[in-house]
C-alpha cells in the first residue's frame, strides 16, 4: 500500500497519524504481530489436522462397519406383542414342546404362529378372565386373528425353509436362541447372509440328533478328554453323514436360498 | 533498517481454543461408538432399518402375513364354508379329498338308531386298514403324544401333566378346570380305538379338539401309543419287566 503524505506521515492501524520517520514494518512489529506472518501457534495446526484426518479416517470405517453390521442392527429386536405371552413360562417352566403351537415346522417352510384356538385349548378355562388375555378372547369371539408381531423377519428374497432344517438336525436354538428363557421373544442372532453361510459351510458345528432338535438346553455329551466343541464336531459329523446333508457346493449355491 | 531477530525459538503453549477443539473432537468420536455399543447390548422394540425397502418387503403375500387386499386383513384365505380343498396344494391326496373313509378320518360312523328316529354314533373297533401298527408308528405316536398330550395328561398318560399342576397351583383364577383324565384307567382302556381317535379330533368334555393341530395319521399314531401306555399300566405284574 503506497504511503500517503510522504515519508514523514504515516498512519498506524488505528488510523491516527503519527509524526516522525515512518517505518511501517518496524512500527507494526513493535506494537502488534505482523498479520502477514503466520502466528506461532500455527505450528500446531499441521499435527492437529493430521491427527484429526488420520483419526477420522480410521473412525469412519469402524463406525460404518460396526454400525451397519447385522449384529448391531438386527440383534435385540423385541417388539411389544398384543398379548404378553411368556415362552419362559410355557416352554421353560411347563415344559411344552415347541411344536405344540408351531405345528407346521416339521412339514412346511413356515413355522406357523398358532391360531387363537391353540391358546384357547387351555385358556378357555385357565385364567380365562385375565385382562392380559383380552385380545385373545376378542379374537376368539370375532374370528379376527391376534395381530402378533413377527420378530425373526428375513428379507423377502430369502426362502428359508423350517422343515428342511429341523428334519436335518438343526435345532431351533441355533437361530432363535434360548426362547425357553425369554419372557419377551427377542432376536438373538444376526440372521445375516454371512451368518447363514457360516453354518452352511460347516454344518457339523450345529447338527444334533433329530430327537434333540426342540431340546433347547441340549449339549453334546463329551467323551473323556474332549472339549465341548470337539464333542459337537464329532456328533455333528456323525449326523452330517447319517442325515445325508448336502455338500458344500449345494449348500452355498445362490439358488439354494434365493430364487 | 535492520532488526536483530531475537525471537525465542521455543513454541508457546498451544492456544486454548486449539486444545478445546481437539478435546471436543476426541470426545465426539466416542459418540457413534457409544451408540453402537448401546445398540449391541440392549433390545429394541423398533424393527431394524431396511436399506433397500422394496427388496426386503416385496409386494407379495406370504404365509400369515397381513394384507390390505382383503376385507378381513388376512393374506391367507380361510376355506370357503361348505368346500373342501382339492388338487395340487391340498394337504390330502385327491382320492381323500372328501374324507369318505369313516374309520380312518372320523373313527365312527352314523347308524340309524334302533329306536327309530335319529342316528347313533358307532365307534370303530381296531385300527383302520391303512394304518399299520409297527414300531415306527409307535415311536411317532410317542413323539406326538409327548408334544400334544403330555402338557395335560403327563408322560405316562395319567393326567398329571404340568398344565394340570399349574392349574391347581393358580386355582384362584381358574374357572371350571376339570382335571385331565387318567388315560390308562379301565374306562379309557375299554374304549374302542375309534372313540379315542374321535376324542383327539373333536375333544371331549373340557378338552379341546386337536384335529386342526394333529394330522390324521399322527392321531392314529397317538392312539397306538396310548394303547401301549395302557398295556404297560395294566399289565399283570409277571409281565412288567418285558414291556417297555
Residue A30, exposed/middle/buried by CB under 10 A (0-12, 13-18, 19+)?
Answer: exposed
CB-CB neighbors (< 8 A) of B25 in chain A: 52, 55
Q: Is there a contact between B124 and B194 (Cβ–Cβ < 8 Å)?
A: yes
Report d(CA B54, CA B50) in Å as an integer.
9
pLDDT digits (tens, 9 = 90+) for A42-57: 888 898 899 889 989 9
Strands B119-123 and B108-112: antiparallel
Report d(CA B8, CA B11) in Å as an integer.
8
What is residue B108's three-state secondary structure? Answer: strand
pLDDT digits (tens, 9 = 90+) for A200-216: 999 999 999 998 999 99
CB-CB neighbors (< 8 A) of B48 in chain A: 73-74, 77
Return the percent helix, strand and coil in chain A, to nearest 5.
50, 5, 50
CB-CB neighbors (< 8 A) of B77 in chain A: none
Cβ B151–A145 below 8 Å, yes or no? no
Residue A199 neighbours by CB distance under 10 Å: 17
Q: Is there a contact between B209 and B189 (Cβ–Cβ < 8 Å)?
A: no
List the domains of chain B with CATH numbers.
99-123 (no CATH), 135-239 (1.10.760.10)
What are the angstrom distances between the C-alpha of A228 and each of A43, A220, A233, B86? 59, 7, 9, 50
Strand boundaries in chain A, DSSP class E? 10-11, 17-18
Report d(CA B150, CA B143) in Å as an integer.
10
Query: Does residue A102 carry a pLDDT above 70?
Result: yes
Report d(CA B207, CA B199) in Å as an integer.
8
What are the angstrom distances between the C-alpha of A211 and each of A97, A132, B74, B134? 12, 34, 34, 19
Which residue on chain A is closest to B49 by alpha carbon? A73
Task: Read off the C-alpha cell for A89.
Answer: 413360562
User: pLDDT means per 10 residues in chain B (244 residues)?
Assistant: 67 85 89 91 87 86 88 87 79 74 85 79 86 87 92 88 87 72 84 90 88 89 90 68 49
Return the percent helix, strand and coil in chain B, to nearest 5.
40, 5, 50
Which residue on chain B is closest to A155 by alpha carbon? B56
CB-CB neighbors (< 8 A) of A126 in chain B: 163, 166-167, 170, 173-174, 177
Task: Read off the C-alpha cell for B151.
Answer: 402338557
CB-CB neighbors (< 8 A) of B18 in chain A: 41, 44-45, 48
A101-105, A173-177, B83-87, B198-202: least confident range: B83-87
Cβ A125–B176 below 8 Å, yes or no? yes
* Nearest-5° Cα angle at B123, B121 to B129: 135
- Taking the domains of chain A in order of start, what are their residue ranges? 1-37, 40-68, 70-113+148-257
- Paired with A253 in beta bridges are none
Which residue on chain A is closest to B175 by alpha carbon? A125
* pLDDT recorded at residue A239: 92
From first CA to last CA, the distance across chain B in angstroms is 118
CB-CB neighbors (< 8 A) of B175 in chain A: 125, 128-129
List the single best residue of A103, A106, A114 to mutate versus B (max B Cβ within 10 A). Answer: A103
Instruction: Name B10's Cβ contacts closer than 8 Å, sequence gap at least 6.
Output: none
* pLDDT recorded at residue A32: 59
* pLDDT recorded at residue A250: 94
A14-18, A253-257, B84-88, B235-239: least confident range: A14-18
* pLDDT recorded at residue B241: 52
Cβ B175–A211 below 8 Å, yes or no? no
Distance of CA A129 to the CA centre of its chain: 38
Stronger pLDDT, B170 or A171, i.e. the higher one:
A171
pLDDT digits (tens, 9 = 90+) for A143-167: 888 999 999 999 999 999 999 999 9
* pLDDT recorded at residue B229: 86
CB-CB neighbors (< 8 A) of B15 in chain A: 41
Instruction: Name B147's Cβ contacts closer than 8 Å, sequence gap at least 6.
Output: A97, A99, A100
* pLDDT recorded at residue A259: 86
Shortest Cα distance from A251 to chain B (angstroms)?
A: 22
* pLDDT recorded at residue A5: 42
List the single best residue of B64, B71, B90 to mutate versus A (max A Cβ within 10 A). Answer: B64
Question: Which H or E run includes B112?
Answer: strand B108-112
pTM: 0.81
List the single best residue of A22, A62, A96 to mutate versus B (max B Cβ within 10 A). Answer: A96
Complex ipTM more than 0.85, yes or no = no
User: Which residue in the set A100, A112, A115 is minimally distant from B147, CB to CB?
Assistant: A100
Residue A97's pLDDT band (boundaries 50, 70, 90)?
very high
Which residue on chain B is closest to A66 by alpha carbon? B36
* pLDDT recorded at residue B174: 61
Residue in the block written with cell 488420520: A54
Which residue on chain A is closest to B143 by alpha carbon? A211
* pLDDT recorded at residue B183: 86
Cβ A26–B12 below 8 Å, yes or no? no
Residue A180, exposed/middle/buried by CB under 10 A (0-12, 13-18, 19+)?
Answer: buried
Which residue on chain A is closest to B24 by alpha carbon? A52
A173-183 average pLDDT score: 94
A4-18, A29-43, A142-156: least confident range: A4-18
* pLDDT recorded at residue A164: 93
Q: How many residues are listed for chain A in this entry? A: 259
* pLDDT recorded at residue A133: 92
A4-13, A60-69, A155-164, B137-146: least confident range: A4-13
Q: Is there a contact between B151 and B180 (Cβ–Cβ < 8 Å)?
A: no
Amino acid at each position: 500500500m503506497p504511503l500517503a503524505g510522504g515519508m514523514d506521515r504515516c498512519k498506524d492501524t488505528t488510523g491516527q497519524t503519527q509524526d516522525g520517520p515512518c517505518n511501517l514494518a518496524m512500527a507494526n512489529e513493535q506494537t502488534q504481530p505482523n498479520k502477514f506472518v503466520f502466528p506461532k501457534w500455527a505450528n500446531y495446526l499441521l499435527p492437529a489436522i493430521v491427527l484429526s484426518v488420520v483419526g477420522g479416517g480410521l473412525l469412519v470405517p469402524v463406525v460404518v462397519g460396526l454400525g451397519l453390521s447385522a449384529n448391531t442392527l438386527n440383534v435385540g429386536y423385541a417388539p411389544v406383542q398384543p398379548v404378553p405371552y411368556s415362552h419362559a413360562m410355557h416352554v421353560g417352566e411347563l415344559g411344552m414342546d415347541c411344536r405344540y403351537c408351531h405345528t407346521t415346522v416339521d412339514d412346511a417352510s413356515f413355522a406357523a404362529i398358532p391360531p387363537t384356538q391353540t391358546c384357547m385349548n387351555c385358556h378357555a378355562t385357565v385364567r380365562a378372565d385375565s385382562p392380559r388375555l383380552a385380545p385373545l378372547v376378542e379374537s376368539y369371539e370375532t374370528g379376527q386373528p391376534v395381530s402378533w408381531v413377527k420378530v425373526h423377519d428375513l428379507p423377502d428374497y430369502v426362502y428359508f425353509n423350517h422343515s428342511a432344517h429341523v428334519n436335518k438336525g438343526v435345532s431351533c436354538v441355533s437361530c432363535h436362541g434360548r426362547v425357553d428363557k425369554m419372557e419377551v421373544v427377542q432376536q438373538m442372532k444376526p440372521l445375516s447372509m454371512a451368518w447363514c453361510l457360516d453354518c452352511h459351510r460347516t454344518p457339523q458345528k450345529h447338527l444334533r440328533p433329530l430327537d434333540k432338535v426342540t431340546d433347547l438346553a441340549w449339549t453334546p455329551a463329551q467323551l473323556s478328554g474332549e472339549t465341548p466343541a470337539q464333542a459337537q464336531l464329532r456328533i455333528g459329523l456323525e449326523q452330517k453323514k447319517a442325515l445325508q446333508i448336502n455338500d458344500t457346493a449345494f449348500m452355498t449355491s445362490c439358488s439354494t436360498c434365493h430364487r | 533498517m535492520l532488526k536483530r531477530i531475537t525471537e525465542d525459538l521455543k513454541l508457546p503453549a498451544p492456544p486454548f481454543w486449539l486444545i478445546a477443539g481437539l478435546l471436543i473432537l476426541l470426545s465426539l468420536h466416542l459418540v457413534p461408538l457409544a451408540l453402537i455399543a448401546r445398540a449391541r447390548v440392549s433390545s429394541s422394540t423398533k424393527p431394524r432399518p431396511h436399506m433397500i425397502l422394496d427388496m426386503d418387503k416385496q409386494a407379495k403375500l406370504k404365509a400369515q402375513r397381513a394384507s390390505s387386499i382383503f376385507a378381513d386383513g388376512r393374506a391367507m384365505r380361510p376355506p370357503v364354508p361348505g368346500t373342501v380343498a382339492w388338487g395340487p396344494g391340498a394337504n390330502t391326496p385327491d382320492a381323500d379329498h372328501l374324507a369318505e373313509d369313516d374309520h380312518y378320518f372320523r373313527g365312527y360312523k352314523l347308524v340309524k338308531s334302533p329306536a327309530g328316529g335319529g342316528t347313533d354314533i358307532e365307534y370303530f373297533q381296531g385300527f383302520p386298514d391303512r394304518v399299520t401298527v409297527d414300531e415306527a408308528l409307535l415311536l411317532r405316536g410317542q413323539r406326538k403324544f409327548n408334544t400334544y398330550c403330555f402338557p395335560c395328561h403327563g408322560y405316562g398318560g395319567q393326567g398329571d401333566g404340568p398344565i394340570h399342576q399349574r392349574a391347581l397351583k393358580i386355582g384362584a383364577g381358574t374357572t371350571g378346570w376339570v382335571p385331565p383324565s387318567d388315560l390308562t384307567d379301565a374306562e379309557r382302556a375299554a374304549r374302542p380305538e375309534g372313540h379315542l381317535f374321535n376324542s383327539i379330533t373333536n375333544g371331549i368334555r373340557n378338552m379341546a379338539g386337536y384335529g386342526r393341530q394333529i394330522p390324521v395319521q399322527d392321531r392314529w399314531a397317538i392312539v397306538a401309543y396310548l394303547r401301549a401306555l395302557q398295556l404297560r399300566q395294566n399289565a399283570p405284574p409277571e409281565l412288567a419287566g418285558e414291556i417297555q
